[in-house]
Structure 1
């Protein structure tokens, strides 16, 4: 498990490209028969990827958590962006197809990940946050999720937001999680951008081809920076940073938040004239 510390916006505006990528970009999440994890001290969020091909992969606490099991003091959100797979939680197997979600409660046994077909493996994207109480382990499909339609083709941002783990969906202690799919012909997400000083956010990009990229915008509104992001890479967004992007084609991204509250609409909108 890689450890990353939180950063100060006064310092971040002096980072060069290499330092920006080291602090905020998670480049390697999906590797064959591995679980990769990044522990960020920004609200103590753990971001990870599990790609079981020939082996079953167990999510263990490791030394970083000083816990008897991964979920001893944590909750977990899982969204599959690959082929069909299963997640075994304490002897109960949950089948997850593409874009299915599983919320796993605090106190559950270490989840075990596997793929149905090694030629088309599951790709499990993971986000975990500290939790002080338990809510039921729950599976949600894309059809179960709450859809919100936004944007238009005229502004190149026609998209659908699917809310999975949120106040009126799958209940959790503090984790909020879902995904956004851009329509063909649309490339912009979340612009004009916003911040939410009460929560951090993580973006995970998917449905991109080998030669596609997303220019992810971050930083303070008056000190914007960008990261060039590939398929299956993630970006950590501190509460003071905007989080937006434009791609070489339409794509999808999973968003996950943690912090002071779970109110999806708790955003601080930024006037276009203030962007620099």
Structure 2
């Protein structure tokens, strides 16, 4: 488990490119046969990835959380971004095809990851947050998720949003999770930009070509910075930061949030003339 600490926005003004990437970019989450995790002190979220091959892989943080088991005081959302896989939760199996989401609630003790075909393994991405109440463990297949279509070709942001874990979907204690798909020839996401100072956010960019990149913009609206992000890399976005990007091609990203407000109504939109 790698640990990342919270950053003061005033300090970030002095960051070099390398320092910015060290603090906010998660470069390697998916390694065959391994469980990779990053613990962020922003809202105590844990971001992880796992590619199970011949052997099952258990959701286990060792003694990093100082709890008896991973979900003793946590909940988790899992999205498969690869071939078919399954997650076994206290003996109950849940199959996940590509872009399906599984929510697991507080108190589930034994969670293991598996691939349907170890030679063509699943690629399971997850975000976990602290929880105060148990909610049912459920799967939401992508085919059953309600799409919301936004943007336009003229604005280069024609996109479809799928909300997985939220007040009107898979119920949770505080975790929110969904996915945004940009149509071909559309490259911008989350512009005009916004902030929500009561909750942090995590982006995972994926379904990108090897040579494609996303220019991810972050920072306070009046003093932005950018990072170049490759396929299957994640960004930690502080509550005070915008989180927006433009790609060299279209792409897909999973967004996840945890914090004070369990709502989509707390976003403070930033007028274009205020961005710098």
TM-score bucket of the superposed structures, by smaller chain: over 0.9
4+ runs deviating over 6 angstroms: none
Partner of 1:83: 83
Whole-Å separation in 1 of the counterparts to 2:82 and 2:15? 34
SS of the aligned residue for 2:143 comes to coil
Moved more, 82-91 or 116-125: 116-125
The Cα of 1:261 is off from its aligned counterpart by 1.3
- Paired residues for 1:41-120 under 5 Å: 41-120=41-120
Conserved? CA contact 1:61–1:68, under 8 Å? no
Whole-Å separation in 1 of the counterparts to 2:272 and 2:60? 45
Whole-Å separation in 1 of the counterparts to 2:91 and 2:171? 22
The Cα of 1:13 is off from its aligned counterpart by 1.4
Partner of 1:130: 130
Whole-Å separation in 2 of the counterparts to 1:22 and 1:62? 24
Deviations 1:204-233 (A, max 9, x none): 001001111111000011110001101110
What TM-score comes out, normalization by structure 2 length? 0.99
Whole-Å separation in 2 of the counterparts to 1:32 and 1:93? 21
Deviations 1:41-100 (A, max 9, x none): 011000000111222110113111001110000000000000000100000010000000
- Paired residues for 1:226-265 under 5 Å: 226-265=226-265
SS of the aligned residue for 1:71 comes to helix
What TM-score comes out, normalization by structure 1 length? 0.99
How many residue pairs were aligned?
Answer: 276
Whole-Å separation in 1 of the counterparts to 2:122 and 2:225? 33
Structure 1: where are the runs of 5+ without partners? none
Partner of 1:159: 159
Whole-Å separation in 2 of the counterparts to 1:232 and 1:77? 17
The Cα of 1:237 is off from its aligned counterpart by 0.3
Structure 2: where are the runs of 5+ without partners? none
Conserved? CA contact 1:146–1:169, under 8 Å? no
SS of the aligned residue for 1:20 comes to helix
Partner of 1:174: 174
Conserved? CA contact 1:100–1:142, under 8 Å? yes
Whole-Å separation in 1 of the counterparts to 2:53 and 2:212? 25
Whole-Å separation in 1 of the counterparts to 2:109 and 2:143? 27
The Cα of 1:12 is off from its aligned counterpart by 0.8
Whole-Å separation in 2 of the counterparts to 1:43 and 1:137? 22
